[in-house]
Structure 1
Amino acid sequence: MRPPLSNLQTPVLLPRTSLNPALRSSRSRKTSIFQPPWPRALSSRLQAGLTGLLCAGPSPPFDLGTETIMKHTQVLFTFIALLAALNARAEVSLPNIFGNHMVLQRGVPLRFWGTADEGEKISLKFGSRSFSTTADGSGAWAIELPALKADGGKSHKITIKGSNTIILEDVLIGDVWIGSGQSNMEWSLNQSERRDEFIEGANHPGIRLFHIPKKQFDRPQADVPNKWKTCSSANIRHFSAVLYHFGKTIHADQKVPVGLINSSWGGSPIEPWTVTESGSGKMYNGMIAPIVDFRVAGTIWYQGETNVIQNNGLAYTGKMKDLIEGWRRVFNNENMPFYFVQIAPWNNGRYADGQLPALWEAQCATLKLPHTGMAVTTDIVHNLGDIHPSNKHDVGDRLARWALAKHYGRKGVTYSGPLYKAMKVSGSKIHLAFAHASSGLKSRDGKALSEFKIAGAAGNFVPAKAKIEGKHVVVSADSITAPTQVRFAWHRAAQPNLCNREGLPASPFQTENWTGGTGE
């Protein structure tokens, strides 16, 4: 994992108006280098005057001398440059998120925006439909399109005209998803398990890729320097593995084009990605702000390791709340799906004792926010000494299960492993109830259930026997006759074997003043 970006942990405080995309567009408007700094009415009069000066009278019938001719030639070239400046216009432009091979989000009104010359008329043609607008006093323009339906992956052409013409080709209509976070989201297919197999099979004409380069700014930006690409073996190699596997599953199930936008940075804490009413972080400014008006279906998120190292623990609950609510506000979608990965166990001293379990609880608590989901990964870590588990395909698939069940409404999809719900003390035993266990529970490896501990009022935990009884787990220990609480997989190297019948793993938990949710 890359070192934490400690200098980016505190969001930069900005005036609220600085978060306005329209203001960002006007401030960053691209103008010609010859654009005159005086009003256009004055430009016309000056142009006429200069033209008259250049054309006044016949040439003198005598030799002016070489030096005089050179001086007049320089003046002439200066006047010609001024005339060019007076006639120059700012070309119609679009941010780079609009381009050939892009996917437009289906089912919601769309917004195209860009810059042009002040007062310039802009037209947009999409198929048989035409739309128009006029650039405002700062040169900013925007055109709203009604919601579009997916049409089986049909390729479209979009033409935008002003003083110049922009043609966007091979445009698809489907679903667009953002993948963000730190290194485990950034981790490429080329670095991941079964890379050759997955890269070779990554030719999907209906999946499109957009990778946002790493940029940090004090203020929200209007554009990002990249372009859309088709999903192919050549283009996928260095793209986010988790996001690709997620998108591939959605594409296969929904039979619609899928656009994937990767915006991640290894080693980053959560704070630089956050935008609140009072300010925004540098990574948000450079890597999210430029696309907030580009409609998307939702977001997947894989981050938290750096915040464990920073000993944020349970405080991560509030940080996730700020992140999710902030993104939903700027994307103008209060119900935007936000599915995240519960970070993997890592047996390294950089994680202080108790900090990883505390952050796990914070991630479970985030499930209390609507339209969220969490993929548990304790069972797919092959090397506890590696903070970057190489199995990224199961991570992407588990995130996709949440999306299919919750966002797409697919019936019969098991989207989570068991999540702790309630406990009941019965004599010397504690009975545990779980969400997402309606089909029953089992041991993943067929062995006795592992990683359970039990304690009495004194809080001294001892290893416990755990037995599945229907949809419950019953926990006890011979030395604890009056139990009060249970812990499950509550340490940084935990790899428990409890799962549901579908094989999805149970999340770590503790029962004392538990704050976690279940995402039901």
Structure 2
Amino acid sequence: MRPFKAVLLTVSVSVLALGTARADVKPHPIFSDNVVLQQGTEVVVWGKADPGESVTVRLERKTENEASGAVSGVTADKDGKWVAKIPAQKAGTGYALTVKGKNTIAFKNVAVGEVWVCSGQSNMEWPVNISEDPAKVKEGAKNPDLRLFTVKQWTAPRPITNQDDLGHFTKWDVSSADTIGGFSAVAYHFGQKLQKELGIPVGLIHSSWGGTPAEAWTSLEALDAEPSLKYYADRARATVKAYDEYDQKKALEAYEKTLAKWKEAADKAKAEGKPVPREPGKPGATPPNLGPHTPGVLYNAMIYPILNFKTKGAIWYQGESNTGRAYEYRTLFPTMIKDWRARYNCDLPFMLVQLAPFGNGNANAVTYAELRDAQLYAAKTLPKTGIAVITDIGNETDIHPKPKGPVGERLALAALGIEYGKKIEYYGPMLKDAKFASGTATLTFTHVGGGLVAKDGDLVGFTLAGKDGKFHPAKATIKDDTVLLSSEQVAEPTAVRYGWVNFAKPTLNLFNKEGLPASPFRTDDAPYTTQPKPK
């Protein structure tokens, strides 16, 4: 057995004022038994204690062949806050993390590996229990090298800086049939594939909220800095001002007036045999929680408190709540990604899910197509940004398609190819170029893998337009690594679209031989239907 090696790091923090009441040392609630710490970078552990209290943080591991460890000694500042930094550790399990001040806290079964944040709206929140074949999924869930942590849904008017306000933080669990049922299905499948491919521990921090827009997950500073998005920050500040200035007496006075009007409307509705309107709620002693659609509030409560926790990357499944503003999403979404990267102080790898096919009340409308295009734009223009295409996983009448396994696995493929440098095909076909000649459009692609294939029959979903800008269905055939398009209704084609509708019928079927679908695209630059008209 190799001798135990300890590294002592001492950090001096000046103490301007010392408290007299004793308080137990308290690590940040992101730390618990089963926690996964990020490999390849210094480990940061932080928390609270008495002002001026000496705190020692020790991370150690003992195996049959070696023992290793690192120690950091720090002093809590005048506010009782302390931050300990430990040198990077090898990936593996069997670590123990001990925090000692006037009391001692020991965390067991600690691992070092890859940590990913999993965020977005309902399709990320969607748990294993109500996804496709949960019983079968649970059969393979036991994995001591996959760990799960959930940030419960919470809003905050400003970034939460006091760890005592993080009652919505849970604890780390080891993946098993008993622990994955209520966990994000997309995140779970992503983590399982990533862990098995890398062969090291993987930790997933799930922080999502159904029905929420991207601006709620973005800091007000980032929204302020982008002129076209500043109105979000202005709106949020007005909402927070009303929240801060809440006066129960005034609220009750307004409630009484509203209640009187409601009674009149209710009596009239009853007399006419119509449905009675909903009775207004009586205001309480404290203001109601800020709604999750308020810009910045989810960033404040569900992202900001984990920024100090070293993290490898993020996966994201969101966009449904922004489909009515798809053109704006071309600015908003990259702004959010760049904001997170600046806050994490690294070029955070970011893997997103392109929206699944969904009718949204009108299968032939294009709001979802435009949002998918905005997502593709982000993936193409931002470095270390990947995309999982799921054109084959949709439901015309259900915004929550049940198959989540392929979604998570395709996110993992993107991460493996883009961030981990695996020599794999991690995308389906992506349009490279379109050339028009002799009444035919010839399309070339990147990520053809072993070759282009038409799944389950002839190619579908392609349309052609001429100089008049009117699109018509096109006949499509595969020739080597190209797709040839023609239409009797378009003598001289000038533009191509593929899958440019909310819900394509029949299902889009251009794939590569690796079984990955092509992303929808267009070659024209006609204004989005969601693009504001010039004033």
Percent identical: 42
* Distance in 2 between residues matched to 1:375 and 1:260, nearest whole Å: 18
- Aligned residue in 1 for 2:444: 433
* Distance in 2 between residues matched to 1:173 and 1:293, nearest whole Å: 16
- Aligned residue in 1 for 2:124: 185
| Shift in alpha-carbon separation, 1:119–1:352, aligned structure 2, 3 A | farther
Q: 1:190·1:199 contact (CA, 8 Å) conserved in 2? A: no
- Aligned residue in 1 for 2:75: 134
Write the mapping of 1:290-301 to structure 2, written as runs, cut at 5 A: 290-301=305-316
- Aligned residue in 1 for 2:3: none
Supply the AA of the counterpart residue of 2:439. S
* CA-to-aligned-CA distance 1:484-511 (integer Å, 9 cap, x gap): 1111111111121111121211111111
Quick check: 1:405 aligned with 2:417? yes
Q: 1:245·1:396 contact (CA, 8 Å) conserved in 2? A: yes
* Distance in 2 between residues matched to 1:409 and 1:220, nearest whole Å: 35
- Aligned residue in 1 for 2:257: none
* Distance in 1 between residues matched to 2:140 and 2:514, nearest whole Å: 26
* Distance in 2 between residues matched to 1:160 and 1:512, nearest whole Å: 59
Q: 1:300·1:399 contact (CA, 8 Å) conserved in 2? A: yes
Q: 2:70·2:86 contact (CA, 8 Å) conserved in 1? A: no
* Distance in 2 between residues matched to 1:503 and 1:141, nearest whole Å: 50
* CA-to-aligned-CA distance 1:437-459 (integer Å, 9 cap, x gap): 143211011x1110111111001
- Aligned residue in 1 for 2:57: 124
What secondary structure, in the 3-state scheme, does the structure 2 residue paired with 1:133 have?
A: strand
- Aligned residue in 2 for 1:101: 34
| Shift in alpha-carbon separation, 1:248–1:294, aligned structure 2, 3 A | same
Q: Give the drift of 1:244.
A: 0.3
Q: 1:103·1:258 contact (CA, 8 Å) conserved in 2? A: yes
* Distance in 2 between residues matched to 1:176 and 1:159, nearest whole Å: 20
Q: 2:449·2:514 contact (CA, 8 Å) conserved in 1? A: no
* Distance in 2 between residues matched to 1:126 and 1:353, nearest whole Å: 56
* Distance in 1 between residues matched to 2:434 and 2:97, nearest whole Å: 58
Match of 2:490 among 468, 480, 491: 480
Supply the RMSD in Å over aligned alpha carbons. Answer: 2.0
What secondary structure, in the 3-state scheme, does the structure 2 residue paired with 1:473 have?
A: strand
Match of 2:207 among 263, 284, 293: 263
Q: Give the drift of 1:352.
A: 9.0
Supply the AA of the counterpart residue of 1:237. G
Supply the AA of the counterpart residue of 1:469. K
Q: Give the drift of 1:247.
A: 0.3
- Aligned residue in 2 for 1:314: 327
- Aligned residue in 2 for 1:233: 177
* CA-to-aligned-CA distance 1:336-386 (integer Å, 9 cap, x gap): 1100000111112278932111111101101110001111111122x3211
What secondary structure, in the 3-state scheme, does the structure 2 residue paired with 1:214 have?
A: coil
Q: 2:376·2:387 contact (CA, 8 Å) conserved in 1? A: yes
* Distance in 2 between residues matched to 1:514 and 1:149, nearest whole Å: 52
Q: Give the drift of 1:129.
A: 2.5
- Aligned residue in 2 for 1:449: 459
Supply the AA of the counterpart residue of 2:157. D
- Aligned residue in 2 for 1:251: 195
* Distance in 2 between residues matched to 1:203 and 1:486, nearest whole Å: 47
| Shift in alpha-carbon separation, 1:232–1:514, aligned structure 2, 3 A | farther
* Distance in 1 between residues matched to 2:48 and 2:429, nearest whole Å: 51
Match of 1:499 among 507, 511, 514: 511
Q: What count of residue pairs does the alignment treat as equivalent?
A: 426
Match of 2:521 among 473, 485, 509: 509
| Shift in alpha-carbon separation, 1:349–1:399, aligned structure 2, 3 A | same
What secondary structure, in the 3-state scheme, does the structure 2 residue paired with 1:346 have?
A: coil
| Shift in alpha-carbon separation, 1:427–1:106, aligned structure 2, 3 A | same
- Aligned residue in 2 for 1:52: none
> Which segments of 5 or more consecutive residues in structure 1 lack a partner in the other structure?
1-38, 44-85, 516-520
Q: 2:71·2:86 contact (CA, 8 Å) conserved in 1? A: no
Supply the AA of the counterpart residue of 1:95. H
* Distance in 2 between residues matched to 1:485 and 1:123, nearest whole Å: 65
- Aligned residue in 2 for 1:471: 481
* Distance in 1 between residues matched to 2:404 and 2:213, nearest whole Å: 21
Higher Rg of the two aligned structures: 1
TM-score by length of 2: 0.77
Q: Give the drift of 1:479.
A: 2.3
Quick check: 1:369 aligned with 2:382? yes
* CA-to-aligned-CA distance 1:223-242 (integer Å, 9 cap, x gap): 43311111111111000000
* Distance in 1 between residues matched to 2:361 and 2:404, nearest whole Å: 24
Supply the AA of the counterpart residue of 1:281. G
Moved over 6 A (4+): none
| Shift in alpha-carbon separation, 1:172–1:161, aligned structure 2, 3 A | same
Q: Give the drift of 1:514.
A: 8.7
* CA-to-aligned-CA distance 1:164-185 (integer Å, 9 cap, x gap): 1111111011111111000000
* CA-to-aligned-CA distance 1:240-261 (integer Å, 9 cap, x gap): 0000000000111111111111
* Distance in 1 between residues matched to 2:136 and 2:407, nearest whole Å: 17
- Aligned residue in 2 for 1:11: none
Query: Which region of structure 1 is more displaced relative to structure 2, 220-229 or 183-192?
Result: 220-229
* CA-to-aligned-CA distance 1:196-235 (integer Å, 9 cap, x gap): 0011321111111101100000111144331111111111
| Shift in alpha-carbon separation, 1:352–1:90, aligned structure 2, 3 A | farther
